[in-house]
Chains A and B, each alone.
Chain A
Amino acid sequence: MGNLLTAIDLRAYYKTVQGEEIKAVDEVSLEVREGEVLGIAGESGCGKSTLASVLAFTVIPPLYVVSGEVRANGTNILTLDKETLRREIKGKYISIVPQGAMNSLNPTSRIKNFVIDVLKEHFPEMSKEEALQRARERFEALSLPPRILDAYPHQLSGGMKQRTVTVISTLLNPKVLIADEPTSALDVSSQKIVIKLLVELLRKQIIKSVVFITHELPLLRHFANRIAVMYAGKIVEVGPMESIIFEPLHPYSKLLISSVLVPESGMKSKRIEAIPGVPPNLKDPPTGCRFHPRCPSYIEGICNTSVPPFITVKSDHIVSCFLYGGEHG
């Protein structure tokens, strides 16, 4: 199985009115494999949503991509012109379930009108009836009542709106679906339904892979194949889900996992710890390893002077930390 999306050395900065740069995504490399659910986890403000918008080409000022590539089918999509991107990529190859789907639908228009617009935009020869028929079938196939199409957004509950947005995002059968905290505003049972829907979309081969961005690690436990942990604009560790959750390597990952209550076997006895300190200001991130001011295993003269390289510690499990230098690797 190949990679659907490969990010190489991505840097995306916010530029403030005062002319400062906020380095929200810095030197990030990551691949999205066919058929997988890739979870991206981290505290709020770590740059994971920014990474999502870069991967989904939804970069709007004051955010700018400074350098790096995003490759799909061998081409760097970041260099494509706006029109090609709109016609070939958006919604078709990569689609997004935005953060806060509550306001993602035009409040004054029935949902079917938007659905027809989406389909007709990419299939101009399709008639309105055909488009509507296709949407209705898709809604039914994913066990959503097709009468939603006749409703206005405000007539739907939060969970229903989130599912509707998810279905609309995947109408064009995109290869990669980027879900940016799709469940953070929902109650637990609605969360489960939305995740079920994502699994269903994968099973039915409507989409090929999901990038699921969340600050709630336990959610990933249920359906992610791999997890990338992000801290202060950088990825610190990537590996298979089981390996990350049960045997995290990076000190930050360890703290992140022990800080959340995971009511699963083997985790019960663990003490719940909060991570001391606060996430750094990304205007002026710490030198060396960005986690060093909060790190319990901090080594003076190493961690604060140079950036730790990625090291493969276990199979398919890489980490960026000096603890796993010479003696382990």
Chain B
Amino acid sequence: MKNPFARYILQKISWYILAFFVAVSLNFILPRLIPGNPVSVIVNQMATGGVQSDVLERLYSTYMKEFGLDKPLYIQYFNYLRNIFRWNLGTSFMLYPGKVKDLIGRALPWTISLQVPAILSGWIIGNLLGAFSAYKGGKFDSVAFTLSLVFSNIPYYCLAIVFLYLLAVRFGLFPVGGGYSFGMVPTLSLRFIMNALYHYILPYLSMVLVAIGGQAIGMREMSLYELTSDYVNYAKNLGIRDERIIRYVFRNAMLPQITGLAISFGTMMGGALVTESVFSYPGVGSLLFTAIRQNDYPLIQGCTLIITVAVLTANFLVEIAYGFIDPRIRAVQLGER
């Protein structure tokens, strides 16, 4: 190909498509390892719950058709793929005949608006703190480093539980959960937005503090490494002032941290999902929590699929951005000389 940068992007795209297919296949195959026919398991469960038999019959035929369980596995797989690309994620068990895509569609904006700002701001603040801590040294470094170590090792949901109990239940400073007050209807009115922000603070805080700690530790280490490098000494020897050298160091230590940002989206996901359910925040995490409790397989599968797509997309965007920013990476990828 003529344009090397286009080649880089194309290479990345094909890589992510591969990862996507592996994930989707796992999403297809793993739930099918459940012993027995999941549809009859569920329908039997409902039967003991006293649901009328004609309703059960209809349920049974709906799901048998949806899963295509009477067909060979490879046909099931192709049906599954076709349905995904048509954005048809099936019907929920627990909220029959609610469509999975609608349930997820309602939850996703909440999750995105909670997690993306929390991860991004935690990343930025954490990096500034880490770099400053490495540069400053002494007391400041040792206090900041220890605090970061403590916070980064508290799982998100533990901090969430403590915050919820102390700040909301005990002292009544914040609402005890949910995305907005009970009885309100989501609109774009100022009153609703203020109310939603009020509910936003605690979940956001419990995620961002942990993220700051984790990023600060990584950035501090990178900066310490850069600060002792040859180019820093050389710049000092030519009489370049410290402020400018710190800018070089910050920039270079920052680059690996961009990969760290991509990783964050994946590794923070589990904790973030649980954080949502701690606060009963109306996002994908709470949805998944309920779906697991109800054995709602189509909904669980829908949630895991959307989580995978979200994380892969975020990683992909970060990697493309990285290729733009770091000439070393570009040079390696492009064979530039």
Contact = CB atoms under 8 A, between A and B. Distances in A.
Contacts of B241: 86, 121
Interface string A98-142: 101011111111000010011001100000000000000000000
Contacts of A92: 239
B240 A121 contact: yes
Q: Dominant SS at the B interface?
A: helix
Contacts of B237: 56-58, 90-91, 95-96, 98
Nearest to A104: B234
Nearest to B330: A152
Interface stretch (B12-20, B161-169, B248-256): B248-256
A155 B331 contact: yes
B336 A114 contact: no
A117 B244 contact: yes
A325 B233 CA distance: 44
B102 interface: no
Given A98-B230, A100-B230, A103-B230, A90 B238 contact: yes
Nearest to B328: A107
Contact of B239 (A90, A98, A154, A165): A90
A90 B241 CA distance: 11
Interface residues of A, number: 34
Nearest to A90: B239
A58 B234 CA distance: 9
B327 interface: yes
A152 B240 contact: no
A313 to B, nearest CB: 36
B259 interface: no
Given A100-B230, A154-B331, A121 B255 contact: no
Nearest to B252: A108
Interface string B226-246: 000111011111111100100
B239 A107 contact: no
A118 B245 CA distance: 11
B244 A121 contact: yes
Interface in A76-92: 86-87, 89-92
Contacts of A152: 327-328, 331
Interface of B: 229-231, 233-241, 244, 248, 251-252, 255, 326-328, 331, 336-337
Interface in A45-95: 56-58, 60, 86-87, 89-92, 95
A91 B336 CA distance: 32
Nearest to A153: B231
Contacts of A100: 230
A91 B331 contact: no
Given A107-B252, A121-B244, A91 B231 contact: no
B11 to A, nearest CB: 20
A267 B241 CA distance: 49
A131 B248 CA distance: 19
A91 B239 contact: yes
A154 B244 contact: no
Given A90-B238, A154-B328, 9 more contacts: A86-B239, A87-B239, A89-B239, A102-B230, A106-B231, A106-B235, A106-B252, A152-B327, A152-B331
A176 interface: no
Contact of B234 (A87, A89, A98, A121): A98
A108 B230 contact: no
Contacts of A122: 239
B326 to A, nearest CB: 6
A121 B331 CA distance: 30
Contacts of A56: 237
B229 A108 contact: no
A253 interface: no
14 contacts: A90-B239, A91-B237, A92-B239, A96-B237, A98-B230, A104-B231, A104-B233, A105-B231, A106-B252, A107-B231, A108-B327, A118-B240, A155-B337, A172-B239
